[in-house]
Amino acid sequence: MKVLVVGGGGREHTIVRKLKESPRVAEIYCAPGNGGISRDAQCVDIAAMDIEKMVAYAREQKMDLVFVAPDDPLAAGMVDALEQAGIRAFGPRANAAIIEGSKVFSKELMKKYHIPTAGYEVFEDPQKAADYIQAQNQYPVVVKADGLALGKGVVIAQNFEEAQEAIHSIMEEKVFGASGNRVVIEEFLTGPEVSVLAFTDGNCVKPMVSSKDHKRAYDGDQGRNTGGMGTISPNPYYTEELAEQCMRTIFQPTVEAMKAEGRPFKGCLYFGLMLTANGPKVIEYNARFGDPEAQVVLPRLETDLMDVIDAVIDGTLSELELKWSDTAAACVVMASGGYPGSYPKGIEIRGLDANGQVEGATVYHAGTSYQDGVFRTAGGRVLGVTGLAESLDKALQKAYEAVDQISFEGAHYRKDIGRTK
């Protein structure tokens, strides 16, 4: 088979490397890809959001499958466009990707189908949102932009002034553009967070092994939110019992709700959960693999990913048994100096071999370029270094030993991955 992966980050590198393990896959392309991906696949210079060019390229090149990995092209209907052109595609259609693309949609879905989540109200008018918060007088309070905001559209306000500031920047300054036309004001929940990614064909849902992200920039969960600074799998807080409860109260009901709404979800559905004193609740849905969750979950998949993709697309997932390794996985993200704020690009990365790898771990490239045998930084999150071992401690040790072999000016990474609540 000839497969095209859309995207160019650490998640896409993970997908590319997993597909490479499949005996069914002969050629892998990635658009636009990155420096590290170029060592494992043929990179194609088409932007992930360029639906027209992507479809034309996939048709010309007679791709057997296009795997759409990032949120924006999914929300913009890339899968719909590929299907209309007769090309097999993995990922939800736009009418299902909205579960991530609109928080108002996902909150209303959960309310309608009694799926546990934080209490909330939706506002289109900034003054009414502020009045509501003032009347409630309960802090912290969570202010969320309705639409996609690069993971930055959530503000946990500690007092009225902070809430007002968030409403102002989201709804009036429009720092996230039209994503801020509406806001969701949400009850603040506490408890350990768990990421559960699940394959679903629209009817059957098969959760993958659990994971835990570390979203804040610095050790001790300090600093600003990022796309994710590291992950572990499995998540130590996610017991067998909780998994069963989530299946019954969240996973299956969500898939059924989407079907009932005439928006069957096919692809990878990501459940961001909080384990509260009142049971597990949904914090967010994503319509795709998490990044860097994919970097610890997919390496543990023993079933041929191509077989899973086929089952998802063909609606035969219930007939396929997914096998996972008993190993633990840990991923440490190395980021550019300044990230999640502004950062320089083009800085030489040292310590990688000719394939962009190091001994003892797998290096998933996120923001890198490659030219004349040299890897350089090209983004905020630069590398995701994953260790696999029989225990979490050993997996972390492997990941950190590998990180120690790699350096670039300004690099920062968290030293406490897997050690925080």
Angle between helices 252-260 and 94-101 (to 10 degrees): 130
In the three-class reduction of DSSP (H, G, I as helix; E, B as strand; rest coil), residue 418 is classed as coil
Q: Which is it for strands 216-218 and 267-276: parallel, antiparallel or unpaired?
A: unpaired
Closest CB 269 distance from ligand GLY, rounded Å: 12
In the three-class reduction of DSSP (H, G, I as helix; E, B as strand; rest coil), residue 216 is classed as strand
Residues 153-182 that bind ligand AMP (CB under 6 A): 154, 156
With binding defined as CB under 6 A, does residue 12 bind ligand GLY? no
Of the two residues 65 and 283, which places its CB atom closer to ligand AMP in the complex? 283
Amino acid at position 73, single letter = P
Closest CB 349 distance from ligand AMP, rounded Å: 29
CA angle 105, 212, 208 (to 5 degrees): 75
Q: How far apart are CA 37 and CA 20, in angstroms?
A: 11
With binding defined as CB under 6 A, does residue 291 bind ligand GLY? yes
10 Å CB burial of residue 175 (0-12, 13-18, 19+) is: middle
With binding defined as CB under 6 A, does residue 186 bind ligand AMP? yes
With binding defined as CB under 6 A, does residue 151 bind ligand AMP? yes
Q: How far apart are CA 364 and CA 335, in angstroms?
A: 13
With binding defined as CB under 6 A, does residue 310 bind ligand GLY? no
Residues in the chain: 421
Size of residue set near ligand AMP by CB under 6 A: 15
Closest CB 215 distance from ligand GLY, rounded Å: 7
413: closest CA among 355, 346, 366?
Answer: 366
Q: How far apart are CA 143 and CA 354, in angstroms?
A: 46
Site string for ligand GLY, 194-213 (x = CB under 6 A): -------------------x
Q: How far apart are CA 388 and CA 329, in angstroms?
A: 5
Instruction: Tell which one of 293, 296, 309, 388 touches ligand GLY (CB under 6 A).
Output: 293
Closest CB 246 distance from ligand GLY, rounded Å: 18
Instruction: Tell which one of 189, 223, 252, 420 touches ligand AMP (CB under 6 A).
Output: 189
Phi, psi of 225 (to 5 degrees): -70, 145
Instruction: Tell which one of 51, 283, 297, 382 touches ligand AMP (CB under 6 A).
Output: 283
Q: Cis peptide leading into 192, omega within 30 of 0?
A: no
10 Å CB burial of residue 391 (0-12, 13-18, 19+) is: exposed
Residue 214 binding target from ligand GLY, ligand AMP, none, CB below 5 to 8 Å by type:
none
Chain residue whose CB lies nearest ligand AMP: 284
Residue 193 binding target from ligand AMP, ligand GLY, none, CB below 5 to 8 Å by type:
ligand AMP
CA angle 104, 108, 114 (to 5 degrees): 145
With binding defined as CB under 6 A, does residue 7 bind ligand GLY? no
Closest CB 283 distance from ligand GLY, rounded Å: 11
With binding defined as CB under 6 A, does residue 362 bind ligand GLY? no
Please give the helix or strand (H or E) that residue 233 lies within, else none: strand 230-233
158: closest CA among 141, 133, 143?
Answer: 141
Residues 207-266 that bind ligand AMP (CB under 6 A): 215, 225
Query: Which span (42-50, 67-75, 77-85, 186-194) binds ligand AMP, by CB under 6 A?
Result: 186-194
Instruction: Tell which one of 16, 58, 118, 361 touches ligand AMP (CB under 6 A).
Output: 118
With binding defined as CB under 6 A, does residue 146 bind ligand AMP? no
Closest CB 213 distance from ligand GLY, rounded Å: 5
Please give the helix or strand (H or E) that residue 206 lies within, else none: strand 205-207
Residues 213-252 that bind ligand GLY (CB under 6 A): 213, 227-228
Of the two residues 311 and 331, which places its CB atom closer to ligand GLY in the complex? 331
Contacts with ligand AMP by CB under 6 A lie at 118, 142, 151, 154, 156, 186-189, 193, 215, 225, 272, 283-284
